[in-house]
Amino acid sequence: MHELSIAISIIEGASQEALSRGGAQVHAVHLKLGALSGVVKDALLFSYEVATNGTMLEGSRLVIEDVPVVIYCSECQAERRLKSIQQFCCPVCGALSSDVVRGRELELVAIEIEEVEEIV
């Protein structure tokens, strides 16, 4: 399963980050997931739960932030959020565009760990 290997790489990345901060208990891992990333969110959540078993991330949550698809419309000269990923056209003027600005993300944005409280 595609999502399982992605979950494992997320876990590896987050584990390294936690270790670099003194090996604290990880509460949650935050991920940005674009609508065009090709990853099925539910499958990824399930894979994460399975793959964290027996690791230092066991019991932590995977928090996924959905990133909508945004294209650049050359007619409007503006960024537009797509209504559907089936149609790559501007929702305002209808022009076709394949210039994807956002929506392919699959990135680890943050981890929440026990020891270090984020004091700003």
45, exposed or middle or buried, with CB in 10 Å at 0-12, 13-18, 19+?
middle
Q: Is 85 in the site for Zn ion (CB under 5 A)?
A: no
Which of 24, 43, 76, 100 is close enough to bind Zn ion by CB under 5 A? 76
Q: Looking at 26, 35, 73, 82, which residue binds Zn ion (CB under 5 A)? A: 73
How many binding residues for Zn ion (CB under 5 A)? 7
Spatial CA neighbour of 56 closest among 119, 116, 117, 111: 111
Q: What span, in angstroms and rounded, lies between the C-alpha atoms of 97 and 87?
A: 9
- Residue 100 found at the interface with Zn ion (CB under 5 A): no
Amino acid at 6: I
Does residue 92 bind Zn ion (CB under 5 A)?
yes
- Residues in touch with Zn ion (CB under 5 A): 73, 75-76, 90, 92-93, 95
